[in-house]
Amino acid sequence: MSTLIPNYSLLRHNTFGFDVRARFARVLESEADALAVLTDPQLASMPRLVLGGGSNVVLRGDFDGCALLIGIKGRRWVGEDANAWYVEIGAGENWHDSVAALLDEGRPGLENLALIPGTVGAAPIQNIGAYGLEMAERFAYVRALDLVRGEIVELDAAACAFGYRDSMFKRAGPGRFIILSVTFRLPKAWRAVAGYADVAQALSRNNISVPAPRDIFDAVVAIRRAKLPDPAVCGNAGSFFKNPLITAEAYAALKQREPELVGYPQSDGGVKLAAGWLIDRCGWKGHIEGAVAVHERQALVLVNRGGAVGTEVLALAEKIRHSVATRFGVRLEIEPVIV
């Protein structure tokens, strides 16, 4: 069983780069390590925080409990059917490295999600999505330790109840499940997802009319590198707000007042607004407030300029939410989990 490490710095375990500590930490490198959490008397009465890459979390301060650091590695092909290959990947594997490795093996399907920071185990929690693809579209099942029921469970997409940047895991809270591995379903009949303007433009700039998986991967990597801050250089947790979904009637009314407003119709009849656009229109892009700022190229991303604490980020987020609500009548929802 892995050991309990006291007074553990979480600086390298959250992409915002907040310099906070956990009373204890334990690294989980196997399912057996995870199961041992259930029977360890020291852990029984302590709050627990499961951390993968810490890429979608705001730590408000020191954590008075045990941080469980997910280090479960490995990737193996577990089967195929007429339509798809199935690959199981350990929750502690790096997301982007896994996407790249699958592509190298000639099994594409996740390339629109290239360069998303974090681990494989974190991907189902918020159903990561980018450039027209959601993880849920390539998902088969997850193995997870249910800390309340005290057993390992296998959950399919229905049980995970994926939504827009959302899942049952997020709603259950950060202490309920430890995701151990994720099995993906990669379609044998690969089709490019190239509808987003940035991707389409990148392909057309390179004179690519029939993109191969590698072309999509390269385009997404180039776009993200150009537009989004690298957490290794500038602390951030990716998009800080979800794109709001509003009714078609509310959209029509808003569009009359704000003719330049862009909306994306959804299958349920609602309309998705671009949160970044709303924030930009309220004048926040590039705004600096002490140690925190709104990224100068992407208004959806809040950054730690150095030495910031979680409460400063949340205070700035609140001001942004207030001004967007005042101007557009839309309440933005925060995307990362707040601890």
Q: Which residues bind ligand NAP (CB under 6 A)?
A: 129-131, 195-198, 227-228, 238-239, 243, 264, 274, 276, 298, 300
| 27/248 Cα distance (integer angstroms) | 47
- Residues with Cβ within 8 Å of 274's Cβ and at least 6 positions away in sequence, in order, are 243, 262, 264
| 29/226 Cα distance (integer angstroms) | 34
Shortest approach of ligand NAP to residue 185 CB, angstroms?
21
Query: What is the amino acid identity at position 282?
Result: C
The residues carrying an active-site annotation are: 165, 239, 335
**297 vs 319, which CB is nearer to ligand NAP?**
297
3-state secondary structure (DSSP) of residue 126: coil
- Residues with Cβ within 8 Å of 130's Cβ and at least 6 positions away in sequence, in order, are 112, 113, 116, 220
**121 vs 238, which CB is nearer to ligand NAP?**
238
Query: What is the amino acid identity at position 305?
Result: R
Shortest approach of ligand NAP to residue 294 CB, angstroms?
13
**65 vs 229, which CB is nearer to ligand NAP?**
229
**215 vs 335, which CB is nearer to ligand NAP?**
335
Shortest approach of ligand NAP to residue 301 CB, angstroms?
7
**65 vs 235, which CB is nearer to ligand NAP?**
235
| 320/136 Cα distance (integer angstroms) | 30
Shortest approach of ligand NAP to residue 44 CB, angstroms?
34
DSSP 29-63: -SHHHHHHHHH-HHHHTS-EEEESS-TTEE--S-E
Shortest approach of ligand NAP to residue 242 CB, angstroms?
8
Q: At what angle do helices 213-227 and 197-205 cross, to 10 degrees?
A: 110
| 66 C-beta neighbours (distance < 10 Å), count | 24
| 181/141 Cα distance (integer angstroms) | 9
**181 vs 243, which CB is nearer to ligand NAP?**
243
By Cβ distance, which residue is nearest to ligand NAP? Answer: 238
Angle at 228 between CA 224 and CA 229, to 5 degrees: 130
Query: What is the amino acid identity at position 5?
Result: I
Shortest approach of ligand NAP to residue 48 CB, angstroms?
24
| 13/19 Cα distance (integer angstroms) | 10
**66 vs 324, which CB is nearer to ligand NAP?**
324
Helix or strand run (H / E) with residue 302: strand 301-304
Shortest approach of ligand NAP to residue 298 CB, angstroms?
6
Q: At what angle do helices 95-104 and 213-227 cross, to 10 degrees?
A: 150
Chain centroid offset of residue 20 CA: 21
